[in-house]
Structures are given as C-alpha cells and as structure tokens.
Amino acid sequence: MDVLLLGAGGREHALLKAIQASPECGRVWAAPGNGGMAGADVAPIDENSPAAVARFATDNGVDLVVIGPEAPLVAGVADACRDAGVPVFGPGAEAAQLEGSKLFAKRVMERAGVPTAAYASFTEEAPALAYVEEQGAPLVVKADGLAAGKGVVVAQTVEEAAEAVRSCFSGAFGEAGSCVVVEEMLTGPECSLLSVTDGTTVVPLACAQDHKRALEGDLGPNTGGMGVYSPVPFVTPQEQAAMETANEKVVRTLAAMGIPYRGVIYGGFMLTPEGPKVLEFNARFGDPETQVIVPRFKGDLLRFLYAAATGTLDAAMASWDDDWAVSVVLVSEGYPGSYEKGKPITGIEEAEEVPGVTVYHAGTALADDGTLVTAGGRVLDVTAVAPTFEGARDAAYAACDRIGFEGKTLRRDIGAKALRGREAWEV
C-alpha cells in the first residue's frame, strides 16, 4: 500500500514510523516532511492545495492519503482526494470546521448535548470588551479560527481578558481573530481523548495529558505543546466513558446534520468536579499527543487508518500496551515567540541509545552540507516508553540531556504534577 503523508512535525514523524512498520506498507511520500523523516520520498507539492494533492495521489497510484495537520483539512484536501477516488484519512472541510471555527464547534456541542463551558461570541471589539467587564475574571478568550494552538488566553484579570480581545481584533492572529469567543474558565486537570471514526464506528484511543504552557509550573503563554504522557493515571472509568460518549455524540450529530466525519476526532477535556467538559475539539491527531499514543498502540496502524478511510473500521483493530509513555519537547529559545533557525543539532543517536527512547523530529531540516539543523519552534520530541511512569520520565530526561543545539529549551516538570495524584489540581 503506497501512502502520501501530509505534514512536517513530530506527529507526522511518529505516524510515519508506525506506518512503515506495517507489513502492508509500500512506498511512502511526505509533503513536505522534515529533516528526520528518512525512508519517505518528498512529494514536491503544496500540502494545503486540494487540487495539487489529489493530482499527485492519482498520478502516482497512491492507495491512502494521511493528513496530519489541520490546515489541509480546513482547506478541503480530503474532499478533493475523495472526489478523485483516493482513500483519505481525515475529515472534509465542512467537518473540519469543528476545529477551524470554535463557534461552529460550540454550536455542534449544544446540539449534541455535550457539556462545555458557557460562552459568548463577538465579531466586534466593543461588545466583546463590554461582555468581559460584565462577566469579570477569570475568563478564557479564544480566536475563533486556526492559530496554531496559540490563539487562546486564560485571563486571570479583566485587564488580561480585555488585552486578549484587543489582540485578536488588532490582527495578531489574522483572519482567525476576526471572531472572538469568550468563555467561562473551567477548573480541574485537562485530558485529551482522541477517537478514530469511519463515520459510523467510533474507536477511542488512549488518554493523554499535554502541557500547553511554555514555562514550568504551567506558567507563561500557551504553546502547541511542551510535553505529554499517556495513559493518564487519575482518570476514572466514569470519566473515560463520559469522554468517549462526548466524541461519539459529536460524530453522530454531525452525521445527522449531513456532515460525514471520517478521521480523528480529538476532544480536549477539563475534568471538572461536575464531570468532563469539552474545552475544544480538534479534527486531527494531536501534536504532541500522537508521540505517546502511537508508541503504545498495539496493532497495524496503516490497516487501522485505511479501515477508517474506507468505512471498514473495527474496534478490535486497536489495543494498548500497558507501558507508560512520556514525551518531552525540545524547543528553540524564544518559542512561542520569535526564535532563530539553522542551529546544528547533535546527540540524537546517543539519545536513542537510552532504552525505550525514540526521538521524533518536528522542526528540523537538513542544511546544504547534510547537517541536521533547527527549523522551527518545537524542534524534537523525545519519547520514552517504560513499565513505570517514573521510569519513562527518567529515560526521557536522560535522553534530552544527550541532545544539544544552541538555545535548547525544555520544561523539566513534564508529568511531575500527575505523579502527585488528582489532589495536585485541587490546591
């Protein structure tokens, strides 16, 4: 089975490794790929161009297109591939609005009866600011559209919330900030629950917990993710069931609206005292969640994705290793703000000599002389799998210390809070 994989991050590198491990895997192309995605040929196309992707897939006899990032989904790449008769893993543009528009997602959740935060939406600055003053803090301010995980501000004061509103309407997030959603702030630990669906069957994956803030102690601005672990030790069976049901309800509701959903539905949940409530939905595999979910997946991932793309999904195709997985993200100095690129990277082979460790490339590239260099904010995902949570954390950090590049930055507390138990979020 020949595969075209769209994307260039750690998520795509993790998917690539798992796809290549399938005995049914033939040739794999990546568009655009990154400096560590060996074994995949580079497809010289724009990943966000529906026509270009569909044409390449048909011209090269591609059996499955796997879409990693959200932008190609919202652009309609999956629709173009399906129209051309090519199986594709990922929802169409209309369904991808679940991530592409937070307001659309809220309305779907209301229709589905899925618990979420109270909210209001605005297309003008003045009424948004008036609402902030009326509600008081804390509040969560979100740019409605895609903002690479950075368009969300958790505001502890009215002044912070007002500044976030002004930032959106001033163009800080481009068109994504032309509509603003202001929500009540939910409390509790966060948890991600991803499910794979062919539009009818919905198969839950393993839980994971991301660390979105840039600084230790969950301080600083939101990022695309600084580290993650799986499973989540304090999730109760009742909470697990409630999250699975929420994902299923949304798939069923979209179908009732005439919007088929095929691919990953990613629920970001807050485990509140009243039960899990949805913070957001994403329409694709999480990054960095994929880097701990895929290593624990038991089964043939390529067959699993193909089944979802072709309407033949079976829950028996997915099971989970009992081991723990922890991934620490190494980022460029300055991320999520401005940062420099082109810094030589050393020590990856030495890092992977630590038992259980795999280093997934995210923001990397090969220089003209073949040197591996930094090419993004999130540079590498250092993932360790071990029989215990503590063992996985220790191995991940031991591997991180073997990798070097100028400005290397990381959080040293990935998973530390979870080791203290649920009460760590109740202080």
- Crossing angle, helix 237-256 and helix 102-112, to 10 degrees? 100
C-alpha to C-alpha distance for 81 and 60, rounded to whole angstroms: 13
Q: What is the pLDDT of residue 149?
A: 63
C-alpha to C-alpha distance for 249 and 283, rounded to whole angstroms: 15
Q: What is the pLDDT of residue 81?
A: 98
Residue 48 has phi, psi (to 5 degrees) of: -95, 5
Tokens 């939406």 sit on residue: 121
Q: How far apart are the first and last CA of the chain?
A: 51
| Residues in a beta bridge with 325 | 230, 385
Q: What is the pLDDT of residue 174?
A: 85
Q: What is the pLDDT of residue 54?
A: 98
Q: Read off the tokens for 84.
A: 């051309």
C-alpha to C-alpha distance for 288 and 295, rounded to whole angstroms: 12
387 prior amide bond cis, ω within 30: no
Task: Please tell us whether the domain made up of 124-178 is placed in CATH 3.30.420.10.
Answer: no
Task: Please tell us whether the domain made up of 3-92 is placed in CATH 1.20.1250.20.
Answer: no
Would 3-92 and 124-178 be classified into the same CATH topology?
no
Q: What is the pLDDT of residue 176?
A: 79
Contact 139, 161 (CB under 8 A): yes
Query: Angle at Cα 64 formed by Cα 70 and Cα 306, nearest 5°?
Result: 90
Residues belonging to the chain: 427
Contact 310, 198 (CB under 8 A): yes
The b/e string for 365-379 (b: 16+ C-beta within 10 A; e otherwise) is beeeeeebbbbbbbb
Estimate to the nearest angstrom the gap between the alpha carbon of 104 and the chain centroid: 19
Element (H, E) at 296: helix 290-296
Tokens 């089975």 sit on residue: 1
Tokens 């959106």 sit on residue: 168
List, for the chain, all residue ranges whose pLDDT scores fall below the cut of 50. none
What sign for the dihedral angle of Cα 168, 171, 172, 178? positive
| Residues in a beta bridge with 65 | 4, 88
Where exactly are the structural domains of the chain?
3-92, 124-178
Within 22-124, residue ranges assigned H as helices are 50-59, 70-75, 77-83, 93-100, 102-112
pLDDT tens digits, residue range 197-226?
999 999 999 999 999 999 999 999 888 899
The residues, ordered by sequence, that sit 6+ positions from 2 with a Cβ below 8 Å of its Cβ are 26, 27, 28, 29, 60, 61, 62, 63, 64
pLDDT tens digits, residue range 10-21?
999 999 999 999
C-alpha to C-alpha distance for 72 and 153, rounded to whole angstroms: 25
Q: What is the pLDDT of residue 238?
A: 96
| Residues in a beta bridge with 30 | 5, 42
Radius of gyration from C-alpha coordinates of the chain: 20
Q: What is the pLDDT of residue 38?
A: 79
Q: Read off the tokens for 398.
A: 């031991």
Q: What is the pLDDT of residue 157?
A: 94
